Amino acid sequence: MTTGARVRPQLAYLTEQLNELKQRGTYFKLRVLEDEQGPLCTYDGKRVINLASNNYLGLCDHPKLREAAIEAIRKYGVGSGAVRTIAGTMRIHMELEEKIAAFKGVEACVVFQSGFTANAGTVSSILGKEDFILSDELNHASIIDGARLSRAKIKVFRHKDVAHCEELLREIEKEPGRKLIITDGVFSMDGDIGPVDKLCDLADRYGALMMVDDAHASGVLGRNGRGSVDHFHCTDRVDVQVGTLSKAIGALGGYVCGSRDLIDYLYHRARPFLFSTSHPPSVAATCIAAFDLLEREPERIERLWSNTRYFKEQLAATGFDIGGRTTPASETPITPILVGEGRATMEFSRALFEAGLMATGIAFPTVPEGKARIRTIMTSEHTREQIDQALEILTTVARKINLLANS
């Protein structure tokens, strides 16, 4: 067997595109985590303060979640053996869905293999080509892909611009198709909060369906981390609530909450649910333990917010552009540090890493051209000392590249 790097001519076009990324300075190599996902960990053999993970509440390596996973493996083995609709629905999958539904205060819930498939599978199955989707321009890629797969007509409204959404709704008011308004609860690249309540008003006024993707709001906003829908007191006004089990919950998966009929319909029609194997029982058990913790240890969320406030205040005082000038202002533990140009951002990120800080550079096409940034995420588990050390590294490296307004 040969392992040489021979490029088949059929694939040469991919190599060319990669070379283009290299020329633009936005090509990256995957950094490899060598221990647990925590505030201080080892990537590529280097000990760094970690400001890049979605492990908001430090649950990825929580002892209670580990125990739950190990116990489930002992009891049920490591795999479910089938898709949910054939033979792969285990008692523990049902328990998790019941647990989430009760937590969110809705009739029912369905768990998908990821937040991505929850969004894409739901949007693509509940709408058809006669229908309309009104989607915020900064909604997550999984919503965009689901919207395309549905073949519905897509109307994109300017970021958080409720008046623009209404204008688009008015244009299609007389059309027979269904209308679905979709927003992220928290936007993943800017950390700002979607106008869920105001969009619900529009949905009520125009008879539209309302959907919210709470991937970054679950475990972060609302009572005990119930999400943005709870934060805005809109539980009864949102038809489709999506959440993820992969970020604050610390494991893997996504879910949809809503009416019993919505969930039954998704059981029958959502393609990732129908055509992809269900979670290993250990993942379901881990998630159940995580929701228990959210109820029992709200102080984790309080710590997350107090760390977030401190970090943001210090960044702003030092002169970093953390959004609010040319980009939306962050309101959550996701804090972007705006750099602008893609190449400079990636170089900044690499220099931070060398200095002991893991903070990922994000460039086009994930964010618009000219709005490349370092995206930082605070967690409840960072100590004040680690945060101060991170600030010191950021400041020293930023000064070297003249990024600071008042340096």
- The residue (of 131 and 184) whose beta carbon lies closer to ligand PLP is 184
Could you tell me the smallest distance in angstroms from the CB atom of residue 403 to ligand PLP? 26
Is residue 382 part of the annotated active site? The answer reads: no
- The residue (of 184 and 192) whose beta carbon lies closer to ligand PLP is 184
Check if the beta carbon of residue 217 is closer than 8 Å to that of residue 203. Answer: no
- The residue (of 166 and 194) whose beta carbon lies closer to ligand PLP is 194
CA 32 to chain centre: 20
Could you tell me the smallest distance in angstroms from the CB atom of residue 112 to ligand PLP? 9
CA 11 to chain centre: 32
Q: Are strands 179-184 and 132-136 parallel, antiparallel or unpaired?
A: parallel
Distance CA(57)–CA(221), nearest Å, equals 12
* The one catalytic residue among 99, 140, 231, 247: 247
* The one catalytic residue among 104, 216, 231, 382: 216
Is residue 140 part of the annotated active site? The answer reads: no
Could you tell me the smallest distance in angstroms from the CB atom of residue 22 to ligand PLP? 25
Contacting residues toward ligand PLP, per CB under 6 A = 114-116, 119, 140, 142, 184, 188, 213, 215-216, 244, 246, 254
- The residue (of 188 and 395) whose beta carbon lies closer to ligand PLP is 188
Distance CA(398)–CA(395), nearest Å, equals 5
58: left (phi over 0), alpha (psi -120 to 50) or beta: left
Structure token digits, residue 201: 């008003």
CA-to-CA dists, residue 269 to 131, 136, 207, 286, 316, angstroms = 17, 25, 23, 27, 47
- The residue (of 196 and 391) whose beta carbon lies closer to ligand PLP is 196
Block residue for tokens 């969004």: 119
Structure token digits, residue 138: 């900064």
CA angle 263, 269, 114 (to 5 degrees): 70
* The one catalytic residue among 53, 124, 188, 349: 188
- The residue (of 218 and 318) whose beta carbon lies closer to ligand PLP is 218
Could you tell me the smallest distance in angstroms from the CB atom of residue 380 to ligand PLP? 19
Block residue for tokens 């552009």: 321
CB-closest chain residue to ligand PLP:
115
Is residue 247 part of the annotated active site? The answer reads: yes
Sort 11 into a burial class: Cβ within 10 Å, 0-12 / 13-18 / 19+: exposed
Could you tell me the smallest distance in angstroms from the CB atom of residue 252 to ligand PLP? 7
Residue type, 205: R
Distance CA(224)–CA(245), nearest Å, equals 15
**N-terminal to C-terminal alpha carbon distance within the chain:** 57
Could you tell me the smallest distance in angstroms from the CB atom of residue 318 to ligand PLP? 27
Distance CA(300)–CA(58), nearest Å, equals 9
Point out the residues that are catalytic. Answer: 188, 216, 247
